Every structure is written in C-alpha cells, then in structure tokens.
C-alpha cells in the first residue's frame, strides 16, 4: 500500500505545481498587458485621426476589464467606444469583436486570470445586439461570423430573436456603446 510519506511527497508536489502555475499565469498576464499597452501606443494617433483599422487596434488593446468601469489599463466602455467608431466605418473585424463582446466573450487569448475572474463575476451580455453585430460582420465577409451569428440565434428566446431581427435588418437601431447597450438590457 501507500505510505503516509508517499502521500506527503505527492501533496507537496501538487502544492508546488499549483504555485508554479500561479506564477506562470501572472507572468503571461504581465506579457499580455505589455503587448496591449504597446499596441495602444502604436495606434492611438491614427485612431484619433479616424482610421478604422487603428481604431480597432486601440479598442482591442483596451478590451476588456473585469468590471464595467475603468481600470489601470483595460477599460471595456472605452474599448467598445473605439470599436464602435471603427465598425461605423464598416470595418469588419470591429463588427465581429463587438459581436463577441456582447455575446459574453470579452477576454481573448491566454488571459487566464481575467477569464477565471470573469467566470466568477459574469460577463455583460446582450444577445440581440451580439446577433446584430455578428450579422453585420457576416455581411462584411468576416470569417466565422455567420457561424457565430447562428450560435447566438440558437441561444436566444423568441422575444430576443424578434429584437435581434429588427436590429439586423435595420428596423431598429443597432446599439453599440457600452452605455446604450447596458440601458437596453
């Protein structure tokens, strides 16, 4: 059978592995923040000048905080504002990203700490708005947009589908900013 010393060694090994994993998550998150700050700095002037690709890069760099308000760097409302400016100029990646954000997929890449916290705190979602943006992204020939749009459709109630159709076909305004989408919930 197994001795208590064997169990103690295994427990210590497990605790050590968990501690290393925590350090790895912190290191990876630090690299993500540095990368996003560099992307922001590289694109902010062009974004302010109205270039949709730069506006998308700035919005994507600022996206997304765990809370709705501003944080030390990530700021979801500001990120969405930049993405809205870009999408208003028919920049497909921005429309797709807005669809992701409003479907609840705010964190991208290997952002384990923020994604884990998001699972605990929840994400702000508005499926009709997400559907509208994924429909726009599909119209702008964004890869995977039609598939994501259809997945969102399947998750909606009948009432949500009606609102989504109205936004997608122009009978109702397609909401964009964090504040107006939040008010519509």
More confident residue, 24 or 138: 138
Q: In which band, very low, low, confident or very high, does the pLDDT at 65 lie, cut at 50, 70 and 90?
A: low
* Tokens linked to 36: 């996003």
Give the number of other Cβ atoms within 10 Å of residue 85's Cβ.
22
More confident residue, 76 or 10: 76
Phi-psi bin for 56: left (phi > 0), alpha (psi -120 to 50), beta? alpha
116: pLDDT strictly greater than 50: no
pTM higher than 0.85: no
Stretch 123-144: mean pLDDT, rounded? 93
Mean pLDDT of the chain: 80
- Please give the pLDDT value at position 31: 74
For the chain, strand residue ranges (E) read: none
Helices (H), the chain: 4-48, 52-62, 76-87, 92-102, 112-121, 127-139, 145-155, 158-168, 178-183
d(CA 122, CA 72): 20
- Please give the pLDDT value at position 51: 98
Question: Among candidates 81, 85, 79, which has minimal Cα distance to 50?
Answer: 85
């Amino acid at each position: 059978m197994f001795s208590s010393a064997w169990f103690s060694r295994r427990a210590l090994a497990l605790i050590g592995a968990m501690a290393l994993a925590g350090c790895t998550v912190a290191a990876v998150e630090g690299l993500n923040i540095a990368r996003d700050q560099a992307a922001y700095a590289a694109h902010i002037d062009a974004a302010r000048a109205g270039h949709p690709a730069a506006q998308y890069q700035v919005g994507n760099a600022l996206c997304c905080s765990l809370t709705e308000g501003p944080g030390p760097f990530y700021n979801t409302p500001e990120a969405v504002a930049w993405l809205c400016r870009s999408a208003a100029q028919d920049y497909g990646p921005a429309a797709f990203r807005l669809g992701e954000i409003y479907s609840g997929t705010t964190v991208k890449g290997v952002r384990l700490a923020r994604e884990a916290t998001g699972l605990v705190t929840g994400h702000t979602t508005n499926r009709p708005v997400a559907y509208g943006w994924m429909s726009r992204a599909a119209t702008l020939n964004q890869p995977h947009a039609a598939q994501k749009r259809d997945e969102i459709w399947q998750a909606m109630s009948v009432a949500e589908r009606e609102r989504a159709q109205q936004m997608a076909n122009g009978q109702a305004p397609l909401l964009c900013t964090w504040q107006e989408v939040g008010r519509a919930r």
